[in-house]
Structure 1
């Protein structure tokens, strides 16, 4: 085989390899996307009791992008329904912690009670504020069952600020930020309850 033929064969094999790689990637993309959606779904929906909804909440986002609240900003939200009736909303909140932004997921049932709070992203001090990223989280579980009126506005603060909540040891600023952002979310839910539970979502 002469040099020209060898180059041609190598080029052909290279093109064939690239083509096969493209086809494999193209065919696997939907599966990878589906697996990623499942991972995201598990991460975002584990605050909701599984028997409390029968829709696909992540496919029904609420129009909340960059809604500024008192000490936080809502980055988005989703509605959970069962037999067509709303059962809960999930609110994605961003607040300022000690080191940088903290992103929280806050689940509220239709009666305005917290189903749970979870940290999605944070860069707080390791061993101190960063403990809010642990899951399950004993400190964040203290918020479950609380509402806008239980405790009242004054109660939504650290004990050192005359409120009802303990802080994460050595992480006053982080603890205060999470409490305030959660309180913000409850106030927002109370003010916009009808639109959150019954209004249109972007499907």
Structure 2
């Protein structure tokens, strides 16, 4: 009798576990489109910070391409193209600084067609030291806005470094590695755009958003 009771309880527990796992899987599947939609909406808000609305009349998130180039970092990066009345007006480049103090730092860099920086933002999460390296975040410091208006000629090539290295950009007290990494990544993003501007605007857009996510965003 005891053995039968143990077997029966084991079967019941097994069926309960299977049922719970199935319910979790179904819930996860059902919420994935909404989670992805929320992520996309957060991205749209971030893009607007470095590519102002008055500079384009297209939807940035749907006019994007995917590229791979060491100047932008390892792996695939997206470039979001801004257009006004059908004509190119700028881009937002994803770029990665691989040499941050706490590891890689992901950035978005808004640039007009003349190669002038419109804005830069660090994309969370990152592992830079709280109170020091995290000053790359706009909510912690206005340091990231010092890139606004900069270009490959303002400053010149030698000026694209922190002042400790003879360049034009301030670093943080007690933290030089993080700003050095970000300055280098923004500089490389500008070099990439200078060398590939024509191809960037001619390439067909990449639409890799699943139908389920588009439906969730419309809902």
Taking structure 1 as the reference length, the TM-score comes to: 0.79
Q: Distance in 1 between matches of 2:171 and 2:65?
A: 31
Q: 1:36 to 1:159 in 2, by over 3 A?
A: closer
- Go from structure 1 to structure 2 and tell me whether the alpha carbon gap of 1:160 and 1:193 turns closer, same or farther (over 3 Å shift): same
Post-superposition offset of 1:56:
1.2
Q: Aligned pairs, how many?
A: 183
Which residue of 2 is the match for residue 86 of structure 1?
A: 88
Matches within 5 A, 1:1-203: 26=30, 33-65=36-68, 67-69=69-71, 72-73=73-74, 75-95=77-97, 96-121=99-124, 122-135=126-139, 137-203=141-207
CA RMSD of aligned residues (A): 2.6
Q: 1:201 to 1:161 in 2, by over 3 A?
A: same
Q: 2:113 & 2:146 partners in 1: Cα distance?
A: 19
Separation of aligned partners in 2, 1:29 and 1:177: 34
Does structure 2 retain, via aligned residues, the 8 Å contact 1:72–1:184? no
1:151-170 superposed Cα distances (whole Å, 9 cap, x missing partner): 11001111121111111222
Query: Partners in 2 of 1:31 and 1:163 — Cα distance?
Result: 45
Superposed CA offset, 1:56-90 (max 9, x none): 1111222214x212x84462211111111111111
Inter-CA distance 162–32: structure 2 relative to 1 (3 Å threshold)? closer
Unaligned runs of 5+ in 1: 1-14
Structure 2 unmatched runs, 5+: 1-18, 208-219
